[in-house]
A and B are shown apart, each in its own frame.
Chain A
Amino acid sequence: MFSILAAKPKSSARNKTGSWRSTKMPRLLKKECINCGLCKFVCPEGCISGSEKNQYSVDSEYCKGCGLCAYICPKKDIEMIENKPEKSNSSEEAEKDKGVGK
Chain B
Amino acid sequence: MKKFIEGSYAMAEAAKLCRPGVIAAYPITPQTHIVENLSQFIADGELDAKSVNVESEHSAASCVLGAQAAGARSFTCSSSQGLILMSEVLFCIAGMRLPVMLVCANRALSAPINIWNDHQDSIAVRDAGWIQLYAENNQEAVDLIIASHKIAEDPKVMLPAMVCVDGFILTHGMEVVDMPDQKDVDNFLPAYDPPYKLDVDNPMSFGLLGTPDVYQETRYAIQKTLEDVLGMIPEVGKEFGDKFGRDSLRLVEEYKTTDAETILVAMGSVCGTIKDVVDREREKGNKVGLLKIVSYRPFPKEVVKSALKSAKHVGIIDKDISLGSDGALYSEIKSLLPSDQKVSGFIAGLGGRDIKLNSVENIIKMAREEENSCKFVDLNKDILWDKFKTI
Q: A residues near B, CB below 8 A?
A: 1-9, 11-12, 15, 89, 91, 94, 98, 100-101
Contacts and interface: CB of A to CB of B under 8 A. Distances in A.
Given A1-B224, A100-B196, A7 B214 contact: no
B385 interface: no
A89 B228 CA distance: 33
Given A4-B210, A5-B196, A100 B204 contact: yes
B202 A4 contact: no
A87 to B, nearest CB: 14
B391 to A, nearest CB: 53
Given A1-B221, A3-B217, A8 B97 contact: no
Nearest to B69: A6
B219 to A, nearest CB: 8
B181 to A, nearest CB: 35
A10 to B, nearest CB: 10
Contacts of A3: 214, 217-218, 220-221
Question: Interface on chain B toward A: helix, strand, loop, or mixed SS?
Answer: loop
Contacts of B202: 101
A89 B213 contact: yes
B204 A4 contact: no
Interface in B204-254: 204-206, 208-211, 213-214, 217-218, 220-221, 224-225, 228
Interface size class of B (residues with CB under 8 A): 20 to 34
A89 B97 CA distance: 26
Contacts of A8: 203-204
Contacts of A4: 208, 210, 214, 217-218
B366 interface: no
Nearest to B220: A3
Contacts of B217: 3-4
Nearest to B224: A1
A2 B221 contact: yes
Interface of B: 96-97, 158, 195-196, 202-206, 208-211, 213-214, 217-218, 220-221, 224-225, 228
A98 B213 CA distance: 11
B208 A98 contact: no
Nearest to A94: B213
B204 A7 contact: yes
Contacts of B224: 1
Specify which of B158, B196, B211 lies most central, judged by the most chain A CB atoms within 10 Å of its CB: B211
Contacts of B213: 89, 91, 94
Given A3-B220, A6-B204, A6-B206, 16 more contacts: A1-B220, A1-B225, A2-B158, A2-B221, A2-B225, A3-B214, A3-B221, A4-B210, A4-B214, A6-B205, A7-B208, A8-B203, A9-B205, A89-B213, A98-B214, A101-B196
User: Which residue among A3, A11, A100 has the maximum number of chain B CB atoms within 10 Å of its CB?
Assistant: A3
Nearest to B95: A5
A93 B210 CA distance: 15
Contact of A9 (B96, B203, B210, B211): B203
Contacts of A9: 203-205
Contacts of B220: 1, 3
A58 to B, nearest CB: 22
B160 to A, nearest CB: 14
A1 B129 CA distance: 13
A5 B206 contact: yes
Nearest to A88: B213
B214 A94 contact: yes
Nearest to B203: A9
A51 B218 CA distance: 43
A9 B203 CA distance: 7
Given A2-B97, A94-B214, A7 B205 contact: yes
A2 B159 CA distance: 11
Contacts of A91: 213
Given A100-B196, A101-B202, A6 B214 contact: no
Nearest to A97: B214
Nearest to B226: A1
12 contacts: A1-B221, A3-B214, A3-B217, A4-B218, A5-B218, A11-B208, A12-B208, A12-B209, A94-B214, A100-B195, A101-B202, A101-B204
Contacts of A1: 220-221, 224-225, 228
A2 B196 CA distance: 12
